[in-house]
Amino acid sequence: RAGSGGGALLTESLAGARLVLGDRRVRALMLLFWLPPMFVVAPEALAAPYADVIGAGPAALGLLLCAMAVGHVGAELFVGSALRPR
């Protein structure tokens, strides 16, 4: 079934994207879901080459990747305890 409906799938996907991104409020919510992962992926992508450049082994790479998660949890705990509901 190669070639059957491929154009329709693309057309319907683009129409769906236009519908979702056409609403200003929905677009803002989607950006809230898309932007934070972008800031997590970049350091993860750079961790392996960085560990290689500094001559660290796989264990050090694991610690680098783990440190990001520990930092996120620590920041969440700090913000949760430092900020009070209004």
Model pTM score: 0.51
Is residue 64 included in any domain, yes or no? yes
Torsion sign, CA atoms 68, 73, 62, 64: positive
Which pLDDT belongs to residue 62? 93
- DSSP one-letter code for 4: S
- What residues contact residue 2 under an 8 Å CB cut-off, 6+ apart? none
- Residue whose entry in the numeric block shows the structure tokens 């319907």: 12
Is residue 42 included in any domain, yes or no? yes
Range of the domain at 22: 6-82
- In the chain, the number of structural domains is 1
pLDDT in tens, the chain (86 residues): 455 556 899 999 999 989 988 999 999 988 888 888 888 788 888 999 999 999 999 999 999 999 988 998 999 999 988 887 77
Joined tokens for residue 73: 């949890």
Give percent helix, percent strand, percent coil of the chain, each to the nearest 5. Answer: 85, 0, 15
